[in-house]
Amino acid sequence: MHHVLKVGLVGYGYSGRTFHAPLISATSSLELAAIASSQADLVTADYPATRLCETPEILFARPEIDLVVLATPNASHYPLARAALRAGKHLVVDKPFTLNVAEAEALQAAASQTDRLLSVFHNRRWDSDFLLLKQLLATGELGNVTQFESRYDRFRPVVRKRWRESAVAGAGNWFDLGPHLIDQALQLFGQPEAITADIHARRDGAEAADDALAVLHYPDKRVMLGASCLMAGGSPRFLMAGTRGSLLVGGLDVQEEQLKAGLRPGDIGWAVDPRHAKLFTETGQRELSLPEGQYTAYYAAIRDALLGVGKNPVPPSEALAVMRVIEAGVASSAQGVRIRLG
């Protein structure tokens, strides 16, 4: 039997509109059946056939909805996720999973008690450059990796009026970009022994941290993660240094910009990344082309997991591991010390 799963999206701000709605709509056997948002005009313009719900609670109460996707401000993730699980829904939460480890543990427990799928949208596992890193690690081409640097920089000197930049819990780029940087590092190298972090609000009028630097300490390597709103000029996205070679990648995966510009999965040029990575070895350097990014893989995997033919692409245990690092980073920065993990 061909079963179509009905999806309810909560939140139609940047993340819901740019990522979730288009990616859900592009996934076969998933139907974007309802959207809960205060931005009625936007929703009806973009998805005229989709039911508009005034509140998340109205959406959760709809019996036909199989899967709820939360693309709401970070501080609302925990209470809304609890409510969706109580309503018996399977659940995808945008990153960061929650505001802290205690909330993340409570949601993991609630999902297992209700026997519902719970997954976190760590979409940058499917960036083209990250897929290349995984390939190179698998082939051992770089030898033993001794240092990894991963940065996510922007030049946005003017503080904008939006929740991500205001003085609310879960705002600032350690909670916004940190989860991407941390999740990728954990996917590559596993859990670090400790973290040292330095997280600040630097811009004039900044209410939330806009500059974060963290070192993840491993026995055999150093991982440096950075995110700044005052860094222009194309700092490297990735630097990976090994005993046999070193890799440099600049720029950003194209999929977010393509989605923003209205390009959709299946369109000509979708996820084709024009960048090249540079591989340096003893014998010189060469350029490597990047594989196509695969943001569509996430919701395809969610569908397969719900239909019992695949695994949850980002189980709560993995999102919880990210939250442990985020929380330890906050403590490290506040106390000015190295914080041990686990």
**Residue 193: which residues within 8 A CB-CB, separation 6 or more?**
217, 218, 219, 340, 341
Average pLDDT on 277-292 reads 96
Average pLDDT on 254-260 reads 97
My answer on whether 109 and 135 are in the same domain is no
My answer on whether 73 and 136 are in the same domain is no
My answer on whether 112 and 44 are in the same domain is yes
Asked if residue 248 is part of any domain, the answer here is yes
Asked if residue 304 is part of any domain, the answer here is no
My answer on whether 129 and 63 are in the same domain is no
Asked if residue 267 is part of any domain, the answer here is yes
Residue 162: give its domain's CATH number.
3.30.360.10
The Cα–Cα gap between 280 and 288 comes to: 11
Indicate whether 236 pLDDT > 50: yes
What is the residue-averaged pLDDT of the chain?
Answer: 95
Q: Which residue has the higher pLDDT, 258 or 2?
A: 258
In 190-342, which ranges are E strands?
A: 194-200, 211-217, 222-228, 238-242, 246-249, 276-281, 284-289, 339-340
The pLDDT of residue 232: 83
Average pLDDT on 162-181 reads 88
CB 328 within 8 Å of CB 316: no
Give the pLDDT band of residue 1 (cuts 50, 70, 90).
Answer: very low
Asked if residue 285 is part of any domain, the answer here is yes
CB 173 within 8 Å of CB 229: yes
My answer on whether 92 and 135 are in the same domain is no
Asked if residue 307 is part of any domain, the answer here is no
My answer on whether 105 and 81 are in the same domain is yes
pTM: 0.96
My answer on whether 128 and 108 are in the same domain is no
* Residue 261: domain span: 124-293+325-340
How many domains does the chain divide into? 2
Range of lowest pLDDT (11-25, 137-151, 220-234): 220-234
My answer on whether 174 and 289 are in the same domain is yes
Indicate whether 171 pLDDT > 90: no
Range of lowest pLDDT (89-98, 136-145, 154-163): 154-163
Residue 34: give its domain's CATH number.
3.40.50.720
**Residue that terminates a domain, selected from 105, 121, 137:** 121
CB 103 within 8 Å of CB 82: no
pLDDT digits (tens, 9 = 90+) for 42-51: 999 999 999 9
Average pLDDT on 15-29 reads 98
The pLDDT of residue 170: 85
My answer on whether 268 and 143 are in the same domain is yes
Range of lowest pLDDT (98-102, 143-147, 208-212): 208-212
The Cα–Cα gap between 246 and 68 comes to: 42
Indicate whether 58 pLDDT > 50: yes
> β-strand 5-10 against 30-36: which pairing, if any?
parallel
My answer on whether 156 and 252 are in the same domain is yes
Asked if residue 272 is part of any domain, the answer here is yes
Indicate whether 241 pLDDT > 70: yes
The pLDDT of residue 234: 74
CA angle 43/70/164 to nearest 5° reads 85
**Residue that terminates a domain, selected from 69, 89, 121:** 121
Asked if residue 305 is part of any domain, the answer here is no
**Residue that terminates a domain, selected from 121, 146, 177:** 121
Average pLDDT on 156-163 reads 86
**3-state DSSP: the chain helix, strand, coil percent, rounded to 5?**
35, 25, 40
Asked if residue 142 is part of any domain, the answer here is yes
Average pLDDT on 311-323 reads 98
The pLDDT of residue 38: 94
My answer on whether 68 and 143 are in the same domain is no
pLDDT digits (tens, 9 = 90+) for 86-109: 999 999 999 999 999 999 999 999
My answer on whether 150 and 73 are in the same domain is no
